[in-house]
Structure 1
Amino acid sequence: MSYRLFVRPVPPYADPDQSAEAQLFSWVLQDASGDAQARGTADTRESIEQTLAQNALENVLLIGLIPGDEAVFCLADIPARQNRFIQQALPYAVEEQIAQDIESVHLALGPHTAEGYRVAGIDRERMAGWRSLFLGWHQARLEAIYPDASLLPAAESGWVICLDGDSALLQSQRLEWLKMQADNLPLLTVTLAAPTADEVVAEIPVKLYGTESDLESSQTLISELAGATGHLNIEAKPLDFSVTELLAWSYHQHLCQPINLCQGMFALKPEGSSPLKPWKPLIAVASLWFVIQMGLEVGMGVYHQQQAERLESEAMALYRNAFPSDRRTHAGNVRRVIEGQLRVAGSQGPEVDFITLMKYTGAQYGRLQNPTAVTFNSVNYSRARGELVVDIRADSYDRLSRLRNGLASEGLQAQIGSVVNESSGARGRLTVSGG
């Protein structure tokens, strides 16, 4: 449930920079339905914070109500519609309505009406002091600062007056607010009784709020107001609660249109006010996915690096076993060394000696059908050429061809030359060498 804490400093006003802890407040704690759950008339900040803590309330929205005479009401007739141009023209539009250097005034822009933009002006140093007074409360977060008189229930016509001890809060039908000493109200009777330019009325309605004690003690004042011009129709409305509760109730019921002074250089930037707030869950998920993906990539990289190092070690171990005397070869050049050795071996061909050639030739001779039909007349071997030359005779050339093909299937080079066909068969010279 959302709670709002309306806090209104009561006089005497302490210096926020020197003795803020001595300031007393009239306050009311309002729940989401607008009911007052707790209240006080002259309590310290510490006491109010303890009340919130005792009720286990956190992140309560704090609304600060400053004296209505601290901020002046203005109207700005600005034809522009874009906020940037409105802000640029605003100081010039209200300069004549403010009785101090416009450069030292903080201007807060309100809604647009038929008469122009409603504007609240307040001294910058005073605004800074009020802002610091309401900031940093435990269990509460500052949401807005309003002039207290601007929260009076608006009237369709005439005026609204609220007696508050020695003071009086006033608001006109065009939502202009004032705060003054109650005893000075008779001085404004002519102003209060003056109708607007488009009105022709005999009486101006005035709603007068106040506690029973305030109304009773101000009977003489009320009589003076009613009889000064004879045009004020005063309707007294006794309150069963404090003025602060009246203002909080009016705010909850949307009976007022106050101007939030926390704008521009005094704008509030609570946690989570970033324009990226709606995207934070998606950003969090994307960030988590990125971290996990990076972790997987790093993990796989480490794993593959370890596998590569293991394979390099195994390859070098095999190479050392085959070439124990080679100390120059390492994991970085072992592939190049082996490829070079293979190229040399391929260019030179295999070194096959006499015994090997005779073994393969004899094995193929034994595989022939009817090998007795084949006769070796002479055998010669050239070590320089690595060749075995056999003078051979067979009952047919086909047997000679089969012997040659069998040797070729073993990866050897076999050729038959000087073939002579005779009536009894064929003879020739079989030359066998390494592949």
Structure 2
Amino acid sequence: MDCLFLPADSPARLDADTPVYWLPKQGAGRWLRLDECAAAAQGAISLVLPAEACSFFAVSLPTRKARWMQQALAYVAEELLAENVDELHLALGETLADGRQRVVAIGRQRLGDWLAQLRELGLPIVAVHVDADLLPRDATQLLFLGERGLLGGAGETRLVFASRDWPALAGHCPPPWHAQGSEAEPPVPLEDYRPLDDPYAFLAGNRATAVNLAQGEFAVETGSTGLGYWKPLFAVVGLILLVQPGFNLVQAWYFQRQGDAYAEASQALYRELFPEDVRIVNLRAQFDDHLAQRSGGQAGFLRLLEHTAGALEDGIPVTIGQLDYNQDRGDLALQLQAMDFATLETLRRRLGESGQSVQLGSASREGDGVSARVVIGG
């Protein structure tokens, strides 16, 4: 697809006159204004951001389940970043040799504004990469674009630097060093240097292995249109509809038996690990609580907070006036206001259904309502 490279000094507001490097899927690349790119575009476009706009690091995540990875990523990244993690878009990349996962971070507002502005100009962006991350993923890779240098390769480091500063960086980068550049000669002495006719085309050729920032809220669905494209799919769907009812019955019977077997095995293991729990209401929630009690700290707080939010999601009309978490005891105390005592009892019952220890005390009437202190966990 066509590629659009934003320059290192890209403004916060992209308009029709903003200069960018345009690399069509066919033909030579050149510097154009954005309105000229929109006129030349022939379909989906891959946007390449300057490394100056992003941060790069690697993290060890405690889960590989897709639905939990973003939540775990935000929690782990908060320890590494000086910025507010809620204001960042975090894109997950590949797993490194040491088991950690590559991460690219960029301001959520900045990325959202750029994408919206480009689409307003008629540029359909479907993929987002970073120039330093487009270098080949072996050894230490360098690309010199005049006075601007890019560092990448197999390691976690992605860096933009002044070309003249490479000698000072060299000692921190493991050899071998593979260097490419836009000039016939490197800006600093290098043994392995290859001049490139179009360094941007060299970067674009490595998009398949680079991190695509179009994830989560910035994910883009692509597809072709036209009846001819869908004909094979219609044929397959027709065949599936003929055999599906019988297959569903067999599959449902099989999975029911498998599920019952796994449930029995899980309960047996749980009773073996936690014999003091004589009543199992929600196996997953109770097991998570035991883990939280052993890990303590913020993880225990977040888990209790999640249970509280789950109990309130049906719209129980209560107001939380104060919230206190005791790490030593592992309990969460809530000062609540409600219309009547029945509402408080409903909430207490809902919290208990998740397997939590719930204590309701210090209830008193205040004006037209009631207030009480509820302690969860511990």
Q: TM-score, normalised by structure 1?
A: 0.48
Q: For residues 185-226 of structure 1, what are the alpha-carbon distances to aligned partners after superposition, in whole Å with 9 as ceiling and x for unaligned?
A: 23312212xx4xxxxxxxx1111111235x35x1xxx23xx6
Q: In 2, Cα distance between the equivalents of 1:153 and 1:112?
A: 15
2:146 maps to a residue whose letter is G
1:92–1:153 CA distance, 2 compared to 1 (3 A): same
Which residue number in structure 2 is paired with residue 292 of structure 1? none
1:70–1:82 CA distance, 2 compared to 1 (3 A): same
8 Å Cα contact 2:8/2:52 also seen in 1: no
Q: How does 1:48-87 map to 2 (within 5 A)?
A: 48-52=37-41, 57=42, 60-87=43-70
Which residue number in structure 1 is paired with residue 102 of structure 2? 118
Q: How does 1:53-202 map to 2 (within 5 A)?
A: 57=42, 60-114=43-97, 115-138=99-122, 141-155=124-138, 157=139, 159-174=140-155, 176-192=157-173, 195=174
1:116 maps to a residue whose letter is R
1:50–1:188 CA distance, 2 compared to 1 (3 A): same
Q: In 2, Cα distance between the equivalents of 1:187 and 1:261?
A: 31
8 Å Cα contact 1:9/1:23 also seen in 2: no
Aligned residue pair count: 233
2:52 maps to a residue whose letter is D
- Displacement of 1:50 after TM fit? 2.8
8 Å Cα contact 2:146/2:182 also seen in 1: no
1:250–1:261 CA distance, 2 compared to 1 (3 A): closer
1:212–1:145 CA distance, 2 compared to 1 (3 A): same
Q: In 2, Cα distance between the equivalents of 1:11 and 1:22?
A: 16
In the alignment, does 2:6 pair up with 1:5?
no
Q: TM-score, normalised by structure 2?
A: 0.55
Moved over 4 A (4+): 269-273, 277-282
Which residue number in structure 2 is paired with residue 296 of structure 1? none
1:206–1:20 CA distance, 2 compared to 1 (3 A): same
In the alignment, does 2:208 pair up with 1:262?
no
1:125–1:188 CA distance, 2 compared to 1 (3 A): same
Residue number among 181, 187, 197 corresponding to 1:240 in the alignment: 197
Q: In 1, Cα distance between the equivalents of 2:146 and 2:117?
A: 23
Provide the aligned C-alpha RMSD in A. Answer: 3.0
- Displacement of 1:99 after TM fit? 2.5
8 Å Cα contact 1:69/1:180 also seen in 2: no
Q: In 1, Cα distance between the equivalents of 2:45 and 2:52?
A: 21
Larger radius of gyration: 1
- Displacement of 1:111 after TM fit? 2.5
In the alignment, does 2:249 pair up with 1:249?
no
Q: In 2, Cα distance between the equivalents of 1:14 and 1:122?
A: 15
Corresponding residue SS for 1:93 = helix
8 Å Cα contact 1:154/1:175 also seen in 2: no
Identity of aligned residues (%): 24
Q: In 2, Cα distance between the equivalents of 1:244 and 1:133?
A: 23
Residue number among 35, 39, 43 corresponding to 2:29 in the alignment: 39
- Displacement of 1:107 after TM fit? 0.6
Q: In 2, Cα distance between the equivalents of 1:25 and 1:174?
A: 29
Which residue number in structure 1 is paired with residue 15 of structure 2? 20
Corresponding residue SS for 2:176 = strand
- Displacement of 1:279 after TM fit? 10
Q: Gaps (5+ residues) in structure 2?
A: 239-378
Corresponding residue SS for 1:183 = helix
- Displacement of 1:49 after TM fit? 2.8
Q: Gaps (5+ residues) in structure 1?
A: 31-35, 196-203, 227-233, 287-435
Corresponding residue SS for 1:120 = strand
Q: In 2, Cα distance between the equivalents of 1:75 and 1:135?
A: 31
Corresponding residue SS for 2:78 = helix
Which residue number in structure 2 is paired with residue 205 of structure 1? 176
Q: In 2, Cα distance between the equivalents of 1:103 and 1:130?
A: 19
2:78 maps to a residue whose letter is E
